[in-house]
Amino acid sequence: MKKRQMAVWTMCASMMLGIVSCSQKEVVQGNLHVIPLPQEVMESENDSSFEINSSTQICYPEGNEKMKRNAEFLASYIRKMTGIEVALSTTLESRNAILLLLDDAVQHQEGYELKINTKQIVLRGSTEAGVFYGIQTLHKTLPIIEGKALAAIPCGTVKDFPRFGFRGFMIDVGRHFFSVDYLKEIIDMLALHNINYFHWHLTEDQGWRIEIKKYPQLTEVGSKRKETLISWGSNKYDGIPVSGYYTQEEAKEIVRYAAERYITVIPEIDMPGHMLAALASYPELGCTGGPYEVATTFGVFTDVLCGGNDKTLQFAKDVVNEIMDIFPSPYVHIGGDECPKEHWKTCPKCQRKIKQLGLRDTKEHTKENQLQAWFMGEVEKEIKARGRKMLAWDEILEGNPAKSTTVMAWTSPKARVKSLQQGHQTIVCPITHLYFSNPGYNRLRGVNSVARVYNFEPMPEGISKEEQQNVIGAQGCIWTEWTKDSVKMEWQMMPRIAALSELQWSAPEGKNLEDFLKRLEHQMDIYTAYGYHYKQDIDEVSIAVEADEKGEAHVTLTTFDDAPVYYTLDGTEPAVESAKYEAPFVVNKSAVIKAKAVRERGESEVSEETLDFNLATMKPITLAEAPHANYVFKGKTLLVDGLQGDGNYRSGRYLGFYGKNLDVTIDLQAEQEISSAFISTYLMPNDHIFGLEGMEVYVSSDGKEYRKVAEKTLPVLSKESKDNVAKMEIVSFDKVKARFVRLVGKCTSKLPKWHRGAGQTAFMFVDEIGVR
């Protein structure tokens, strides 16, 4: 914040000017460079500003209720940030006023322009929504002073509009129920970040959360489950019943509340998969007739709606029509994801319908996938008949849907390309970057977690201009399998939602992570002012280790805000008396690096990395087989950087091999006496990630002629094998001298018979190799 002192006037002069001031009062100036960053900001060069005081008025056009509400929002934001009460008026004042105006000359429908001088602020938008986004910029420009000083807005101009018209965020209330009051809080969080679509995921295998009057059992039975799985792979349950649903009137209240903040609520009824709660309520809608139970575990279930049952189709149409009565949204989301076809393949009704429709297997689409496309198409007719558009997840592309379907591309960044190439309007929300509840990516900490969102580019490379026009926006998602309360909800959202808002709103050519992180500090102060629970690890020190292939590690310590950092290398707790970080430093032996940031508001948690040196650490290596393109990260040096994996194969600490052996040659750079070697892997069989079937060690003095000195056979993982297991395989042998060592780690060739993906290719993830 910029600070300056207000001049002290004599009592006589003060009376002449109509200003009474008994003592100096500090004026704190805000910053127009907010999140998301406006398209154009030009601040006055003379450091002048518009000062807000108790005499300031917010002026809006008489008779316009939306603009009146906008003015009320701005007044409430000023009161919250500064402690200053300002008045509202329909008289356009020329001095000490903030004017909110509608102006057709502002070109973009959601755009706005701000002109700020010492006498007034003029905010113009072509629509009330555009004015609201300008108000959000003023909101975030305000200094947080809580009545202890005067607030000032820098003089200058802002011209702004969004990059994308669809800026979404999804909350799943099917797995865990959240109250109406708390959803309103979430909507306020979305408004703070210029998000204009709230995607409300209302139904799941684990709970049906919206009242459907024609089918009362959906909430009488389907909204309740007896208990919930405690954690993945635990087979233990908490014994706590979960229930809750929204009446139609409560849903309409959410729609109203969101609309006042220019946010459209998109309802989602996921079908034909993820429907166990509905099947438990009405068993006749399934292929087998049940019995069914509201799910107490998570995942993908084989019991789905019967795609060939006319009664089931009518049920889907009835539900969608009631949903459209509640929600005026132009979009209705009907899911379409994760719908296994096991029962459809043997169901007489499904097979009869397939025959009736003349569906046949093709190279691209099975007849059962085409049946799903037909089923969804019939529901889409109901949606289109009422002037709405159908939204669906990208699995719907497996059945060749109508081009009128808008696709949410979630399964991977490649899914958006497939959708665009097939001619669909597409909303980008890949699990790899924009799923804020993904357990794997949630293990990323601090700046790395934020950067994964911020550095993602929604617009794929190599597509045509026509296909680019079909990228209508981006969306973040939170699924609530393991999210039961507001604290976890919010730390999953914040501060990553700030990064999301910038890729949704701001021009991509202006994106700069370092600049964003500097602006993020004030955004987090705003979170604190509102009592939001942002993820505190953003305050921690990031420790980066780079291998230089000369036996040395180059260590860099950073924070998002360049806070002072203190560190140790011997595993002791750092303090202000410890070494202060000034520049990158070199480590050439095993060390435990601990670091903390020290700020006025307090100290961060301690960050820690252990560097474990062996003869191969930081030495040159070559790979005979390349890793899978999605899991290369920093490349081959990951294997010899002295760092163990972090239990998250997506974090960048592992190389991932798909159906290929690890075949690596290490140059020890001098002849050494060795007697053992190791390969460290990560096992997660549920995600098709298996370990080694064997190891071989070869040695050479010249890098040309090699001889085998050891081999080891290892068992394939059993059905009882657990997920998230770090496994180091060591092979020992008689002492031998060598400069070059070739390690071969034999991958599991195919998934075993007990696995649900039996016969498919397995992944192998390796974090470190070594020679001793």
Amino acid in the structure at residue 742: R
Distance between CA atoms of residues 589 and 573, nearest Å? 19
Distance between CA atoms of residues 397 and 716, nearest Å? 35
3-state helix, strand, coil in the chain (%, to 5): 30, 30, 40
Per-position b or e across 448-463, b if 16+ CB within 10 A of its CB: ebbbbbbebebbbeeb
Write down the mean pLDDT value for the chain. Answer: 93
From start to end of 369-461, where are the E strands? 389-393, 406-409, 426-428
**Contact criterion met (CB below 8 Å) for 121 and 138:** yes
**Contact criterion met (CB below 8 Å) for 743 and 729:** no
Taking only the tens place, the pLDDT of each residue in 196-206 is 999 999 999 99
- Mean predicted confidence (pLDDT) in 77-99: 95
Distance between CA atoms of residues 337 and 318, nearest Å? 20
Beta bridge partners of 76: none
Distance between CA atoms of residues 480 and 175, nearest Å? 6
Q: What's the gap between Cα 327 and its chain centre?
A: 26
| Backbone φ and ψ of 622, nearest 5° | -130, 145
How confident is the model at residue 92, as a pLDDT? 86
Of 584-598, 638-652, 735-749, the range with the lowest mean pLDDT is 638-652
The DSSP letter of residue 721 is P
Confidence of residue 299 (pLDDT cuts 50, 70, 90): very high
Distance between CA atoms of residues 256 and 242, nearest Å? 27
**Contact criterion met (CB below 8 Å) for 99 and 128:** no
Beta bridge partners of 740: 667, 700
Confidence of residue 4 (pLDDT cuts 50, 70, 90): very low
Distance between CA atoms of residues 242 and 207, nearest Å? 9
Confidence of residue 733 (pLDDT cuts 50, 70, 90): very high
The DSSP letter of residue 549 is S
- Mean predicted confidence (pLDDT) in 613-630: 95
Residue 62 above 80 pLDDT? yes
SS3 assignment, position 581: coil
Distance between CA atoms of residues 208 and 281, nearest Å? 10
Beta bridge partners of 674: 736
**Contact criterion met (CB below 8 Å) for 644 and 769:** no
Consecutive H or E run containing 488? helix 486-493
How confident is the model at residue 664, as a pLDDT? 97
Taking only the tens place, the pLDDT of each residue in 12-38 is 333 333 333 334 578 999 999 999 999
Taking only the tens place, the pLDDT of each residue in 653-680 is 999 999 999 999 999 999 999 999 999 9
- Mean predicted confidence (pLDDT) in 191-215: 98
Residue 7 above 50 pLDDT? no
**Contact criterion met (CB below 8 Å) for 275 and 340:** no
Taking only the tens place, the pLDDT of each residue in 419-475 is 999 999 999 999 989 999 987 777 778 888 999 999 999 999 999 999 999 999 999
**Contact criterion met (CB below 8 Å) for 479 and 175:** yes
Residue 346 above 90 pLDDT? yes
Residue 173 above 60 pLDDT? yes
**Contact criterion met (CB below 8 Å) for 228 and 293:** no
Pairing of strands 763-771, 662-683: antiparallel
Taking only the tens place, the pLDDT of each residue in 283-298 is 999 999 999 999 999 9
Distance between CA atoms of residues 653 and 671, nearest Å? 29
- Mean predicted confidence (pLDDT) in 46-53: 94
Which value, to the nearest 10 degrees, does the dihedral of the CA atoms of residues 152, 156, 157, 163 take?
-70
Amino acid in the structure at residue 771: V
Distance between CA atoms of residues 639 and 641, nearest Å? 6
Take residue 685 and report the two structure tokens written for it. 């069989």
Take residue 505 and report the two structure tokens written for it. 């709103």
**Contact criterion met (CB below 8 Å) for 371 and 273:** no
Q: What is the reported pTM?
A: 0.88
Take residue 577 and report the two structure tokens written for it. 């008396």
Take residue 400 and report the two structure tokens written for it. 């060749």
Distance between CA atoms of residues 543 and 555, nearest Å? 7
DSSP symbols for 217-286: HHHHTTT-BS--B-STT---B----B---B-HHHHHHHHHHHHHTT-EEEEEEEESSS-HHHHHH-GGGB
- Three-state SS letters, 278-299: HHHHCHHHECCCCCCCCCCCCC
How confident is the model at residue 601, as a pLDDT? 84
Amino acid in the structure at residue 265: V
Distance between CA atoms of residues 763 and 691, nearest Å? 8
How confident is the model at residue 735, as a pLDDT? 97
Residue 39 above 50 pLDDT? yes
Distance between CA atoms of residues 580 and 314, nearest Å? 69
Distance between CA atoms of residues 361 and 349, nearest Å? 18
How confident is the model at residue 24, as a pLDDT? 54
The single residue listed with the structure tokens 């300056």 is 4
| Backbone φ and ψ of 660, nearest 5° | -125, 150
Taking only the tens place, the pLDDT of each residue in 495-518 is 999 999 999 999 999 999 999 999
Take residue 673 and report the two structure tokens written for it. 């006496």
Residue length of the chain: 772
Bond from prior residue into 291 cis (ω within 30 degrees of 0) = yes
Bond from prior residue into 36 cis (ω within 30 degrees of 0) = yes
Distance between CA atoms of residues 106 and 254, nearest Å? 30
SS3 assignment, position 91: coil
- Three-state SS letters, 291-338: CCCCCCCCCCCCCCECCCCHHHHHHHHHHHHHHHHHCCCCEEEEECCC
Candidates 751, 728, 640; CA nearest to 679 is 728
Taking only the tens place, the pLDDT of each residue in 627-657 is 999 899 989 999 999 999 988 888 889 999 9
SS3 assignment, position 160: strand
Taking only the tens place, the pLDDT of each residue in 535-559 is 989 999 999 999 888 889 999 999 9
Pairing of strands 156-160, 112-116: antiparallel
Candidates 95, 93, 94, 100; CA nearest to 75 is 100
Distance between CA atoms of residues 323 and 265, nearest Å? 12
- Mean predicted confidence (pLDDT) in 709-736: 94
